A and B are shown apart, each in its own frame.
Chain A
Amino acid sequence: MSQLAKVSTALLRNVPLFAGLDEQQLSVLARSIVRKNVGRNAKIIVAGEPTDSLYIVLYGRLKVLMSDEQGREVILSILGPGEFFGEMGLLDDSPRSASVVSLEACELLTISKTDFKRNLAENFELSLTVMRGLVKRLREADRKIGSLALMDVYGRVARLLLEMAEDVDGEKVVVKKISKKDIAKMVGASREMVSRVMKDLQLSGHIEVRGRSIALRSKILLAD
């Protein structure tokens, strides 16, 4: 992990988490924030380690995962630009509960526990943004529990694709590259099962694979 110079207030102003801070608060914060570049597959957070910082994603994507003793993994979420992670341990003083690994080269901002807590106490808007972030993650987690407990692998793969899809020229398209192995880890199934399900969805006209992206047909949109 390489460290870069300090950051400017202009950069911080563009971070959604800090949107409610004034110029004065941003300049104080800028002095305590560090910018970091990490390569692909870098371990940013390791489950079980003590908690000392909050991280904000400037660019790149990362996966949040838990694993068992046999090394089997489940991906809890995939994070991208503007999102933050590591706040849970800062709020409840517990060790890291999951690991965070970069999926591609990433640029991150880090803020220490002390600085984060001071800013939270001084700025209600920041607390609200953190709360909204926690609620968003909790809703995602609840939906995931619902689909793991109530849906078969077909339903779970379809739901995941729907959630990842963006509107492109009036179509729902999954443009972010995601491997079958990562899909498997997100839906709690084997890679082979996911391959089979994706092939079936393709043959039955629910999805169309175009190079790296996956277009969703209206059939799959109605099936939900």
Chain B
Amino acid sequence: MSGVPPVSTALLRNVPLLSLLSEDELALLARVVTRKSYTRNSQILGAGDPTDSLYILISGRIKVFMGDLDGKEVILSILGPNEFFGEMGLIDNSPRSANVVALEPCELICISKPDFKRCLADNFEMAMTVMRGLVKRLRDADKQIGSLALMDVFGRVARLLLETAEVINGEKVVTKKLSKQDIARMIGASREMVSRVMKHLQEAGYIEVRADTIVIRDNIQLSD
């Protein structure tokens, strides 16, 4: 972690969460936010830590996960540029409930709790953006609960691939690099089981693995 000089208002204006703030507010915020860099695999937040800031990702990807005492992990989400995290504790004044680790080198902006709360109180649109963000995460979490409780590992892998895929030239493609270990931790299965399922999906023609990307064939469908 290294301290880097303060940020420009232009950088802040590009962040969707802050895009509706006025020029004055952005200037005020630019003076108080800090910018931090993290290397791959470094821990950004630890479960149980006190809560003091909101984080916005400028570049890189991070994973949000929970672990048990035996070191088993479940990944709650993977976040990328312009997404924010750490808002839950600022809203309910509780310690961090999950761990956040950098999956690749990351650059972040940190906004302190008082600054975040002042921005929220002064800007209804920002409050709405935060609420919509929470709703999106809650819907994702509910879907994850549904698939953990109701689907077998095949269904869960298929759902995850479909949700991660982007449409490129009319094809559904998973371009984000996802290790089998990470997939396993996102769906609550072992790495070996995920390898087996992915191999079956490939042999049955549901998916095609091309170097770092996975192409999903049209015949893969989910019951939900």
**A residues with CB within 8 A of B:** 66, 68-69, 72, 74, 76, 87-88, 91-92, 94, 97-98, 120-121, 124, 127-128, 130-132, 134-139, 141-146, 148-151, 185, 187-188
Across the interface, do A88 and B146 meet the contact criterion of CB distance under 8 Å?
no
Q: A76-B145, A91-B132, A127-B131 are in contact. Are A142 and B76 (CB under 8 A)?
A: yes
Q: A88-B139, A121-B124 are in contact. Are A68 and B224 (CB under 8 A)?
A: yes
11 pairs of residues in contact across A and B, judged by CB atoms under 8 Å: A68-B146, A74-B149, A76-B145, A121-B124, A131-B134, A135-B134, A142-B141, A145-B141, A148-B188, A150-B188, A187-B149
Tell me which residues across on chain A come within 8 A of B137, comparing CB atoms. Answer: 138
Majority SS at the chain A contact face: helix
Contacts between chains A and B (CB distance < 8 A), count: 123
Tell me which residues across on chain A come within 8 A of B139, comparing CB atoms. Answer: 88, 92, 94, 97
Q: A88-B139, A138-B88, A150-B72 are in contact. Are A131 and B130 (CB under 8 A)?
A: yes
Across the interface, do A132 and B91 meet the contact criterion of CB distance under 8 Å?
yes
Encoded as 1 (CB less than 8 Å from any A CB) or 0, chain B from 164 to 190 comes to: 000000000000000000000101100
A201–B188 CA distance with the chains assembled, in angstroms: 25
A73–B175 CA distance with the chains assembled, in angstroms: 33
B128 sits at the interface (CB 8 A): yes
A145–B142 CA distance with the chains assembled, in angstroms: 9
| Residue in A closest to B149 when the chains form the complex, CB atoms | A188
Nearest CB of chain B from residue A224's CB, rounded to whole Å: 10
Tell me which residues across on chain A come within 8 A of B143, comparing CB atoms. Answer: 97
Tell me which residues across on chain A come within 8 A of B72, comparing CB atoms. Answer: 150
Across the interface, do B88 and A127 meet the contact criterion of CB distance under 8 Å?
no
**B residues with CB within 8 A of A:** 66, 68, 72, 74, 76, 87-88, 91-92, 94, 97-98, 120-121, 124, 127-128, 130-132, 134-139, 141-146, 148-151, 185, 187-188, 223-224
Across the interface, do A124 and B127 meet the contact criterion of CB distance under 8 Å?
yes
Apart from A69-B224, A134-B131, A135-B91, what are 6 other A-B pairs with CB-CB below 8 Å? A66-B145, A127-B128, A131-B127, A131-B134, A145-B76, A148-B148
Nearest CB of chain A from residue B202's CB, rounded to whole Å: 24
Majority SS at the chain B contact face: helix
Across the interface, do A91 and B91 meet the contact criterion of CB distance under 8 Å?
no
Across the interface, do A134 and B138 meet the contact criterion of CB distance under 8 Å?
yes
Across the interface, do B135 and A136 meet the contact criterion of CB distance under 8 Å?
no
| Residue in A closest to B67 when the chains form the complex, CB atoms | A150
Q: A92-B136, A135-B88 are in contact. Are A141 and B141 (CB under 8 A)?
A: yes
Tell me which residues across on chain A come within 8 A of B74, comparing CB atoms. Answer: 145-146, 149-150
Tell me which residues across on chain B come within 8 A of A144, comparing CB atoms. Answer: 141, 145
| Residue in B closest to A76 when the chains form the complex, CB atoms | B142
- Minimum-distance CB pairs A-B, first 10: A149-B188, A188-B149, A141-B141, A149-B74, A148-B148, A74-B149, A134-B134, A146-B66, A127-B127, A66-B146
